[in-house]
């Protein structure tokens, strides 16, 4: 007995009966690809003696853009070696299956692994580590190697990572689309997130408020657990294929 067979079986029934699915993922879904999570296991990510909330902050971009580039180049080096795992692939297959009228994937992650797995139309609430944005004219570009900070090809100002940092507003259209998807979902899957970061952590509550069900997948309890209809205490790569009736790649 896996210990999570019962919760997974009950969750699978909800998923099979659903027409509209919203999925909110966090760093935990990429953990089995080797991408370090920020929290979990009681620890918090620190680099050069600074907590990640300080490194990934609007203040740091204002005060020390070169250090922000070093921090994100360091993260890109780690993420660049990672490939999608069975959890990412299961979500992509579920979307492609056409079994759902709505299948909206919303991620807090910036690693790009959902798109790499074949998911489309992913709402990247916190941006993407492979994209850059001009600090003045806001032009978007793919990441380039070489000088740091890169210079904007249009206006020559320094570029920054196209990532939403603590203390920065999320893209309003992304937030609106994510809120609509959550509010109209029969089922909201919450996968691999500690549920501590606003406004992403509000999304499951919108599903419940409109009568939908919330299923959490996380090896640990979180602040969202007691507000979930079902909480599967397990890793996402093992559970997600089972939820969608796919062969378990584990
Ligand atoms: C905003 C990009 C308006 C950068 C990120 C006080 C109270 C409440 C809120 C606030 C407050 N003070 C400030 C705020 C707002 C703040 C916030 O929420 N702070 C929190 C931390 C207290 N939010 C913001 O600033 C947002 N903007 O609110 O705008 C505004 C404007 C101006 C001033 C004020 C407000 C912007 C937030 C976006 C920040 N950027 N990422 C980067 O990546 O460096 S957030 C960052 O945390 C990542 O995106 C990460 O994904 C995200 C959330 O973390 P999780 O994904 O949940 O990851 P975590 O490590 O925490 O958890 C992993 C989980 O996985 C664990 O539970 C673990 O058990 C589980 N797991 C592990 N292995 C597995 C697994 N699960 C499944 N399978 C496994 N194998």
**pLDDT tens string 74-113:** 999 999 999 999 999 999 999 999 999 999 999 999 999 9
Question: What is the per-residue pLDDT for 1?
Answer: 52
Q: Which of 27, 71, 235 to mutate to test the pocket of ligand 1 (most atoms within 8 A of CB)?
A: 27
> For atom 40 of ligand 1, which residue has the closest CA?
165
Question: What is the per-residue pLDDT for 245?
Answer: 86
Task: Find out whether the beta carbon of 114 lies less than 6 Å from any atom of ligand 1.
Answer: no
Question: What is the per-residue pLDDT for 248?
Answer: 60
Low-confidence ranges of the chain (pLDDT < 70): 1-2, 40-41, 248-250
Alpha-helical (H) ranges within the chain are 5-16, 28-31, 52-55, 58-63, 65-79, 86-97, 113-117, 172-183, 203-209, 236-243
Q: Is 126 considered catalytic here?
A: yes
d(CA 125, CA 181): 13
The one catalytic residue among 88, 114, 126, 162:
126
Question: What is the per-residue pLDDT for 2?
Answer: 64
Question: What is the per-residue pLDDT for 96?
Answer: 97
- Whether 190 and 24 have beta carbons less than 8 Å apart is answered as yes
- Please give the structure tokens belonging to residue 104: 């909206």
């Amino acid at each position: 007995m896996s210990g999570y067979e019962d919760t997974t079986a009950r969750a699978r029934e909800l998923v099979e009966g659903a027409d509209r699915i919203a999925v909110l993922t966090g760093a935990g879904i990429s953990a089995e690809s080797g991408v370090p999570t920020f929290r979990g296991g009681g620890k918090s990510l620190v680099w050069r003696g600074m907590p990640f909330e300080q490194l990934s902050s609007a203040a740091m971009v204002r005060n020390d853009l070169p250090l922000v580039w070093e921090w994100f180049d360091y993260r890109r080096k780690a993420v660049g070696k990672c490939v999608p795992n069975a959890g990412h692939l299961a979500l992509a297959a579920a979307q492609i299956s056409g079994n759902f009228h709505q299948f909206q994937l919303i991620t807090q992650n910036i690693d790009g692994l959902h798109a790499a797995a074949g998911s489309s139309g992913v709402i990247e609430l916190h941006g993407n580590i492979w994209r850059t944005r001009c600090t003045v004219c806001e032009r978007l570009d793919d990441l380039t190697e070489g000088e740091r900070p890169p210079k904007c090809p249009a206006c020559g100002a320094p570029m920054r990572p196209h990532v939403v940092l603590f203390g920065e507003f999320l893209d309003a259209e992304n937030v609106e689309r994510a809120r609509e998807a959550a509010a109209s979902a029969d089922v909201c899957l919450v996968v691999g997130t500690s549920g501590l970061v606003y406004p992403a952590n509000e999304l499951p509550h919108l599903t419940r408020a409109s009568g939908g069900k919330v299923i959490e997948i996380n090896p640990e309890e979180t602040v969202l657990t007691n507000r979930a209809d079902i909480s599967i205490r397990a890793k996402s790569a093992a559970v997600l294929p089972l939820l969608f009736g796919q062969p378990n790649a584990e």
